[in-house]
Structure 1
Amino acid sequence: MTPDEPLWDWAVHAYGSVGVEDACLHLQDAAGQNAPLLLWAAWAARSGRDPDADTLEAACDVARAWQEAAVAPLREIRRRLKGRNPDLDDADREAVRLQVKAVELEAERRLLAALERLSPPAAGPPRPVLEALIAVARRWSPMTPRSGLIQLAERLPA
C-alpha cells in the first residue's frame, strides 16, 4: 500500500480479502460497529495517517449521519427483499433488491469519501492497525469488541 492510495480502492481490495467481509459483518451485526468506519481506521493506520481525537470524533459523527440517514435503512430494505415472498414475483423482487444494494453501496462509497476528506495527510510510517481499530471502535460505542477487532486486523491485507 502506498500513502496516496485512495481509501475506496484500498477498502474494495481489503473487503475482498479472505475473511475480511465476514469479520466486518460480524462486527457490524453482532457488535454494532460501522464497517466503513473500521476500514477507514485501518487504511489510515496502514498509510501512516494518525487522526487526532477531534478527527476521530468527526469521523464518527459523519459515519453516524450516513448510517442513520441512508446506509441502515437501505440495508434493512435489502435484507427484507432477500427472502422469498409468495405475493412478489421472484425476478421482480430480486431486481429491486439489487438496485437497493447498489444504492447502499453508493452510500457507503460516499461515506468513505467523506472520511477520506477528514483524514490527516500521511506523515509517518504505518501504525499498528489493531490500535487504530480499537481507537475508533471506542469512539463509536461504549463497548469495544476486542476479539472481533483482532480478527479483522489479522485478516486485512498488509
Structure 2
Amino acid sequence: MLDSNRLRRLEQMPLWDFALSFYKAPGVEDACLTLQDTLGVDVCELLFHGWLFVNGLEARPEALAPQRERRQLWQRETTEVLRHLRRTLKPQARHSASVSALRKTIQQAELQAERENLQRWQRWAIENSDSDQRLTNCALFSNDSEKWLQDKLFFAELDKGCQGKPSARESVVNAWQTLAARLDHFESPR
C-alpha cells in the first residue's frame, strides 16, 4: 500500500523546486548533459525519477509507459526543437548582438518547455488514486540507487550507444555515479 506521508511530501516539494536544487548540486548538470548528449537520456524524466526516489517512491512500470510516451513526444516536438535552434545559433551569437538576444529568448523558451514537462510529470504522479496505482513505495537501500536509476531509464538499452567507445562509456559510468551519490545525499531546500 502506498505510504500517504510520502505522497504528501511530493506535494510539499514540487518537482520544479527539486529539479532546480538538485541540478545545481556539484557535478549534476555535467552528469545530466553527458547522459543526454551521449545516450539520449531525457533529463526531465531522470529528474522525475530522482524526485520520487528522494521521497521514497517509484513509478510502477506499467503505469509509467503511457506517460513516458506522452512526455517523450513533448520533448521531441517542443524542447528538442528549441534546444537544436539554441545550439545552432551559438556560433552566430558570438558575432551578432541581435542573434545573441534571439538565442537568449530561445533559451528561455527551452527552459519553460522543460518546466512545463516537469509540471506534467508532477501532475501525473500526484493525481495517483487507489483505482490507478501509478506509484509505489520504494524499498531501496541507498547503495543501490545508481542501479535503480539506470533501470528506471532503461540503461541497458541506452548503453548500447557506448559499445566500442571506451571514453564515452567511462563518462557515462561517472555520470551515473555522480547522480546516485547526489540523490543519496540530497537534502530538500528549506
Scaled by the length of structure 1, what TM-score is found?
A: 0.84
Counterpart in the other structure of 2:180: 153
Q: Confirm or deny: 8 A CA contact 2:16 2:119 kept in the other structure.
A: yes
* 1:18 alignment partner, SS class: coil
1:66–1:111 CA contact under 8 A, matched in 2: yes
Return 148-157 or 15-24, whichever deviates more: 148-157
Look up the match of 2:150: 134
Which residue in 2 is equivalent to 1:82? 90
- The number of residues matched between the two structures is 155
Contact 1:130/1:149 (<8 A) preserved:
yes
Task: State how far apart, in whole Å, the 2-side matches of 1:17 and 1:59 are.
Answer: 27
| Residue identity in the other structure for 1:99 | T
Structure 2: distance between partners of 1:44 and 1:68: 23
- Name structure 2 gaps, 5 residues minimum: 1-8, 129-134, 160-168
* TM-score with structure 2 setting the length: 0.71
Q: Percent identity?
A: 29
RMSD: 2.7
Structure 1 residue matching 2:92: 3-state secondary structure: coil
The structure with the larger Rg is 2
Distance in 1, matches of 2:65 and 2:34, equals 23
Residues 36, 108 of structure 1: alpha-carbon distance in 2 compared, 3 angstrom cutoff: same
Choose the corresponding residue for 2:121, options 115, 136, 141: 115
CA contact 1:46–1:126 (8 Å) conserved in 2: no
SS across alignment from 1:33: coil
